[in-house]
Amino acid sequence: MADRTAFEQRYGFRRNEATLANWRLAPYSKWSFQNAGEFVPSAGIACADGAVESLAVDPTNLLSQSVAVEGRRETVADFLQRSDTDAFVVMKRGEFVGDYFAPHMDLDAAHIVFSISKSLTAILAGSLEADGLLDPSAPVTRYVPEAEGSAYGDATVQHLLDMTVSVDFDEIYLDPTGAFERYRRAMLWNPGGGEALLPFILTIRKGPHPHGGQFRYRSPNSDLLGVIVERASGRRHAELMRDRLWLPLGAKRAASVTVDGEGTARAAGGVSVTPRDLARVGEMMRLGGSIDGRRILPESWVRDTLTGGSAAAWKAGDFAHLVENGRYRNKWYQTGFDSGAFFAIGIHGQWLYVDPAAEVVMVKMSSQPEPVDDPLDRQCVAFFQAVSAML
């Protein structure tokens, strides 16, 4: 009884009220986003043995500083609280200079990052490309022959990486009956079961446009990329994450990725990591693919990711309202700002924002009630710009 009462006091509900049917809904998400593995089967991603994280810090009193967000003056802490932030971590020149953790979030808790998983999976693809194991210009069917006849039958791996595949599929997060709900059941994120993830993806048909012309944000593209990196390497997604990113990164806490009934990783959205370890990923990207003298990615791959891509495809695509002059390359977003800022983003308010000019990396993990909140996303970008300028 005492344990249950302590849980209720912290989260506002009983543990048995959070289920597979509601784990992505408020208020349950404040806990379930830190415990996705209690709802969906997950594969572990180990960190270095004996790694210990330091205590939360705010040596610059960052949280009390005032920022202007679209004309509204407020403290950093006020903005974080009103945007349902679970954790906010800031690095400056590789050092942690500010932490915020909501009362329901622990320093060492791994939090699901949803579509930031896509950007992490792209890092695996870049690593395999560097070793000659993966060719982004190759057709998808080189690695997944059974994709012949689907939307992906005449697409390339680079089309997947840049989200320029033409597919007859809509990303409607709150649709309770359509193709997206069927997709969620295939990944075991919703009750009811159904076909496995890859068989579902291969039922998707091509859209009306040719591949390569428009940025169309469709998550199955990234799950298919996860299958490709597994087949190109002969290793499971979680093993690749461990050996090619987590261990060389110097991650301090284990991570995980949800899997379907066949063990296929939810490469598009199932990764859980701690805020500080995600910040280390951003710092590695800021430094051109290496960290603490350990090279994880070729500098050329990082440069292409942060400067390549099609401006025309972006402007014709789904997210031009977020950053007008942006681009999308290798599953990372470019802002087009003079600072060279770039980011990775996930639903319900997950952000990894890097400002190279200011030498700043920020991670914001959240439990926003709505999967997508366009006005708040624009405010977040303005907030990150303001904090970068302050630092």
Residues identified as active-site: 115
d(CA 324, CA 170): 22
Helix, strand, or coil (residue 143): helix
* CA distances from residue 42 to 35, 45, 111, 271 in whole angstroms, order as listed: 10, 10, 13, 9
Alpha-carbon torsion (217, 221, 226, 232), positive or negative: negative
Return the exposure string of 178-192: e unless at least 16 CB atoms fall within 10 Å of the residue's CB, then b: ebbbbbbbbbbbbee
Kindly report the number of other CB atoms within 10 A of residue 65's CB atom: 15
Q: What are phi and psi of 372, to 5 degrees?
A: -130, 130
d(CA 160, CA 138): 11
Burial class (CB in 10 A: 0-12, 13-18, 19+), 3: exposed
Instruction: With residue 75 as reference, give the H or E element that holds it.
Output: strand 72-75
* End-to-end CA separation in angstroms for the chain: 46
Provide DSSP, 41-59: -EEEE---TT--PPPP--T
Return the exposure string of 71-93: e unless at least 16 CB atoms fall within 10 Å of the residue's CB, then b: eeeeebbbbbeebbbbbbbbbbe
Q: What are phi and psi of 90, to 5 degrees?
A: -125, 130
The amino acid at residue 198 is: L
d(CA 281, CA 284): 5
Burial class (CB in 10 A: 0-12, 13-18, 19+), 104: middle
Q: Tell me which DSSP letter residue 16 carries.
A: G
| Helix %, strand %, coil % of the chain (to 5) | 35, 20, 45
CA 237 to chain centre: 15
